[in-house]
């Protein structure tokens, strides 16, 4: 299958790309490369054809000849979304809908959208399946909800959209993010000895390893069309829902001499959702998730140790996406809409 993978140079993309290649697919990446050099390595270019372009700038000709679009690209988390809400909507919603429309016009048959369980937002303690109501509480989550809403009606006999609502990601990637809850708690524990909780620790989070997210993408892309046509799937394992304080306790058990602490301004978090992920396993038996949160904590801990990650590095733009964006803006390479300036684009 000829696949255009947007966001190939990001946290998940660095895991999904080699997985697709190993399965015999022809992959072309599309990315604005905002996070070039972030994570554990600076020389991690993937050996695939690349369209270096902002997803807002995609043209019809960029999409011709592909069988599928796997759409990861976007503003990747709530802090970034809160920094520039209108830009988040422009990239995550408007550009995503436009991308789907152009893909359909170009004859692309499948469009797999990286949505999010954060769509469920402030949802209480009950398990939620794909029929649950959305209650997004951040621009990031709202943008995902709107994209699902506006892309679904495009489905017809020639165009199959699928929406993968991934749980909160964790795990090792060469583009590692330190601003996701598991990776963040482990990073603080390794570099400071404190498993620092920034909320009251009570919110529920469904969690999923980025390798298992990647397995979900491959399972959907390779599935018979009728099984995934205009379907949404929660991506993760129903058993892997934890309160934040439970994740912190796991980290304290894995990282020697680490202890759980709470930030001085810790407060309740309105984002609280517990998710049922049984549908994807039932519909797509080829999707076989392999990671528990506990195993992921051990993996991330070993990676930080092997890398020799320091506190200064962990808290820097190498691992915190919001800091990287602010750094690029301060240097004049990015404008207020998170677009490369002409001189920044050529220098990046």
Whether pLDDT at 232 is above 70: yes
Q: What are phi and psi of 337, to 5 degrees?
A: -95, 10
233 close to 206: Cβ distance less than 8 angstroms: no
Mean pLDDT of the chain: 93
Angle separating helix axes 244-254 and 181-192, nearest 10 degrees: 40
pLDDT of residue 44: 57
Whether pLDDT at 46 is above 80: no
Range of the domain at 267: 2-347
**Using one digit for the tens of pLDDT, what is the confidence trace for 304-323?**
999 999 999 999 999 999 99
Q: Give Cα separations from 226 to 100, 156, 165 (angstroms).
A: 19, 11, 19
pLDDT of residue 345: 45
Full DSSP string of 143-188: HHHHHHHHHGGG-BTTBEEEEEEE-EEES--TT--SSSHHHHHHHH
**Using one digit for the tens of pLDDT, what is the confidence trace for 140-168?**
999 999 999 999 999 999 999 999 999 99
Handedness of CA 205, 209, 214, 219 (dihedral sign): negative
pLDDT of residue 41: 65
When pLDDT is averaged across residues 204-221 and rounded to a whole number, the result is 97
Is 43 or 122 the better-scoring residue by pLDDT?
Answer: 122
Q: Provide the pLDDT confidence category of residue 35 given band limits of 50, 70 and 90.
A: very high
Phi-psi group of 230: left, alpha or beta (phi > 0 → left; psi -120 to 50 → alpha; rest → beta): left
What CATH number does the domain containing 77 carry? 3.40.50.720
Q: What percent of the chain has pLDDT over 70?
A: 96
When pLDDT is averaged across residues 202-206 and rounded to a whole number, the result is 93
- Total tally of structural domains belonging to the chain: 1
Q: What percent of the chain has pLDDT over 90?
A: 86
96 class by beta-carbon count within 10 Å (0-12 exposed, 13-18 middle, 19+ buried) = buried
What is the residue whose two structure tokens read 């205009």?
Answer: 230
**Using one digit for the tens of pLDDT, what is the confidence trace for 316-346?**
999 999 999 999 999 999 999 999 997 444 3
Whether pLDDT at 267 is above 90: no
Q: Provide the pLDDT confidence category of residue 348 given band limits of 50, 70 and 90.
A: very low
**H-run or E-run covering 75:** none
What is the residue whose two structure tokens read 């255009």?
Answer: 4
């Amino acid at each position: 299958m000829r696949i255009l993978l947007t966001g190939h140079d990001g946290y998940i993309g660095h895991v999904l790309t080699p997985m697709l290649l190993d399965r015999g697919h022809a992959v072309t990446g599309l990315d604005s490369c905002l996070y070039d050099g972030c994570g554990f390595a600076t020389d991690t270019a993937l050996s695939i054809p690349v369209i270096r372009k902002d997803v807002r700038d995609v043209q019809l000709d960029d999409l011709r000849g592909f069988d599928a679009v796997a759409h990861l690209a976007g503003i990747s988390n709530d802090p970034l979304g809160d920094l520039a809400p209108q830009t988040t909507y422009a990239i995550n919603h408007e550009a995503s809908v436009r991308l789907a429309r152009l893909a359909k016009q170009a004859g692309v048959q499948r469009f797999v959208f990286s949505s999010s369980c954060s769509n469920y937002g402030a949802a209480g303690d009950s398990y939620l399946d794909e029929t649950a109501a959305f209650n997004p509480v951040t621009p990031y989550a709202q943008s995902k909800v709107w994209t699902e809403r506006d892309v679904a009606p495009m489905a017809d006999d020639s165009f199959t959209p699928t929406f993968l609502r991934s749980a909160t990601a964790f795990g090792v990637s060469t583009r590692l993010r330190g601003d996701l809850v598991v990776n963040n708690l482990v990073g603080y524990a390794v570099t400071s000895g404190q498993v620092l909780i920034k909320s009251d620790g009570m919110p529920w989070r469904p969690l999923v390893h980025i390798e298992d997210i990647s397995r979900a993408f491959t399972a959907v892309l390779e599935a018979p069309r009728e099984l995934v046509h205009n379907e949404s799937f929660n991506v993760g394992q129903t058993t892997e829902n934890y309160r934040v304080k439970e994740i912190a306790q796991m980290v304290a058990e894995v990282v020697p001499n680490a202890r759980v602490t709470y930030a001085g301004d810790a407060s309740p978090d309105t984002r609280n959702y517990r998710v049922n992920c049984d549908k994807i396993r039932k519909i797509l038996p080829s999707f076989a998730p392999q990671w528990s949160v506990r195993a992921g904590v051990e993996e991330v801990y070993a990676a930080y140790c092997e890398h020799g990650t320091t506190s200064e590095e962990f808290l820097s733009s190498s691992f915190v996406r919001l800091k990287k964006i602010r750094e690029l803006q301060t240097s004049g390479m990015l404008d207020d809409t998170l677009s490369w300036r002409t001189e920044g684009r050529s220098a990046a």
